[in-house]
Structure 1
Amino acid sequence: MIYSEVLVNVTSNEDFHKDLLINALSEIGFDTFEDLDNGFKAYIPSSALNLEALEQLKKTFEQMFSFSFTTQSIPHQNWNEIWESNFEPLQVANRCYIRATFHEPQPQFEYEIIIDPKMAFGTGHHQTTALMMEFMLAENFSGQKVLDMGCGTGILAILASKMGAKEVLAIDYDDVCYDSTLENALLNKTNNIEALCGSKEVIPNQKFDIILANINRNILLDQLDTYSVASKHETKLFLSGFYEDPDLEIIKKKCDSIGFKYNGHKVLNAWVSAKFVFSNK
């Protein structure tokens, strides 16, 4: 597969403007980003690159900030060099250590996760993934049945398994993410993770104790009704992939209407992760 690299130069003094743009690009098919001082590099399969959509984004954000971009094609065989050069080990809450296969182990951490991200989203470096993991580390997963929607690399599913979950179902519509989750589960010797390729339609007719969904606001709003069907009384729902303003209030209103009661949220650079608890009474 041939990928396109888009070099984006952002003219702004606000760091969160880059996050806004990255989120918008992820919704039109970009799946990997590399941070730079004055912008970032974004990657997308060349067949999915839509220059008109990029130009439309310039108009969308013109009242807040401006950006310019240049594109070039890169051979698939160079892809590993790109993410390996940009993937540094990460610590979360001083309890979890996330590394790639080429980093040295750090067995002093309570949880060590090995991630070979390739072209799938979710190394723990994005704010939403880190926020979700912080919430998870404060939760009891022992013996729990867990659903991970939009699993990406499988990083949250793997953490749930390592924290004692009885069984974990990881779902993503992208076949690259599906394959990546299976490979990373094997790397981490987490043999109770099942992966499915699809979206809300492949969620089985089962009830889960904990549901994790790090996607984006629009997809979450579309899928929340299905999550409620897969919940029982006191199922915990953790959501991320959206912003504090205005997204959080929109998400809270939808959740409340279908039985998920707001229980708190975390914020990092305008990104949000929120906890809800389902009540069927």
Structure 2
Amino acid sequence: MRYSEVVFSCTGGEDWHQDILISDLGDMGFDTFEARDGGFAAYIASAQLDRSALESLLIHQPIGFTVSYVVNEIEPQNWNSVWERNFEPVVVADQCYVRATFHAAAPEYPYEIVIDPKMAFGTGHHQTTSLMMRQMLAETIEGGRVLDMGCGTGILAILAAKLGAASVLAIDNDPVCVASVEENKIRNDVAHIETACGSADLIRGHRFDMILANINRNILLEQLEAYAHALERGGVLHMSGFYEGHDLDVLKDAAAKHGLAYTGHEAMDSWAAARFIKE
């Protein structure tokens, strides 16, 4: 698959203006972001890059916040090989060791997850994944019914299963991600994880004790009502994929309207993961 790198240069405005722009770009199909001096780089499958939509988005930025961009086409390459050269094991909260198949095991940690991403998001390196895992490790999950919404590699679903969840449903709208979960669940001996390709409409009629949603602010806002309907009373919702500050405030307000009470959050490099309880 051919990818495009779009380098954005930002001047003026508030810090949260760039945060909202990144969230909007996520809705357009950009799936990876990298900080750069004076802005950031964003990556998208070239076939999904809609320059007209991008121009329209940038024209409607707040007054005083100016954004320009340059598109660089990335030469086709073996992405798995690139990933293997750069991937290092990750330790989360001194409890969970995340590694690839070519790394040595580390039995001194209570939980070990072996991941082959195959271009799917979620290896524990990104701040949002790490934050979600930290919050999960502080919860009582044993015997519960868990949903991993926007599952990527399935790392959160796998951790939920290893923490004793009775059932885990992992959903993503990208078939590459779903295929990655199917492989990774076998690799981690948690074959009882169920997978599905689609969106929040797939959870109608299901009930969960915990929902994990590491996506982006706008999609979370769209799906909050579905999460609230699917959660049992007293159930827990963990959300990430957004920034501390404005994004978090918007999500807290929206969650309250659906009977989801905010109980706290953690942050790392401005990224946030928040916890809510169904009232």
Which TM class, normalised by the smaller chain length?
Answer: 0.7 to 0.9
**Corresponding residue for 1:72?**
73
- Structure 1: how far apart are the matches of 2:126 and 2:70? 22
**Corresponding residue for 1:86?**
86
Say which SS state the counterpart of residue 219 (structure 2) adopts. Answer: helix
Q: Determine whether 1:106 maps to 2:103.
A: no
1:235 is displaced (CA, Å) by 0.5
Say which SS state the counterpart of residue 91 (structure 2) adopts. Answer: strand
Question: What RMSD, in angstroms, separates the aligned Cα atoms of the two structures?
Answer: 2.7
1:135 is displaced (CA, Å) by 0.5
Amino acid across the alignment from 1:121: F
**Corresponding residue for 1:242?**
242
- Structure 1: how far apart are the matches of 2:85 and 2:40? 14
How many residues matched?
Answer: 276
Change (3 A) 1:16 1:122: farther
Q: Determine whether 1:153 maps to 2:153.
A: yes
Change (3 A) 1:242 1:43: closer
Aligned 1:193-204 pairs, distance under 5 A: 193-204=193-204
**Corresponding residue for 1:257?**
257
- Structure 1: how far apart are the matches of 2:164 and 2:233? 21
- Structure 2: how far apart are the matches of 1:277 and 1:80? 38
Is the 8 Å Cα contact of residues 96 and 112 (structure 2) preserved in structure 1? yes
- Structure 2: how far apart are the matches of 1:140 and 1:189? 21
Say which SS state the counterpart of residue 119 (structure 1) adopts. Answer: coil
**Corresponding residue for 2:167?**
167
Amino acid across the alignment from 1:6: E
Amino acid across the alignment from 1:273: A
Contiguous gaps of at least 5 residues in structure 1: none
Amino acid across the alignment from 1:4: Y
Change (3 A) 1:95 1:166: same
- Structure 2: how far apart are the matches of 1:38 and 1:85? 28
Say which SS state the counterpart of residue 190 (structure 1) adopts. Answer: coil
Contiguous gaps of at least 5 residues in structure 2: none
Change (3 A) 1:66 1:222: closer
Q: Determine whether 1:4 maps to 2:3.
A: yes
TM (norm. structure 2) is 0.87
Amino acid across the alignment from 2:75: I
Aligned 1:132-147 pairs, distance under 5 A: 132-147=132-147
**Corresponding residue for 2:192?**
192
Is the 8 Å Cα contact of residues 151 and 157 (structure 2) preserved in structure 1? yes
**Corresponding residue for 1:214?**
214
Is the 8 Å Cα contact of residues 3 and 43 (structure 1) preserved in structure 2? no
Is the 8 Å Cα contact of residues 3 and 74 (structure 2) preserved in structure 1? yes
Identity among equivalent pairs (%): 51
Is the 8 Å Cα contact of residues 17 and 65 (structure 1) preserved in structure 2? no
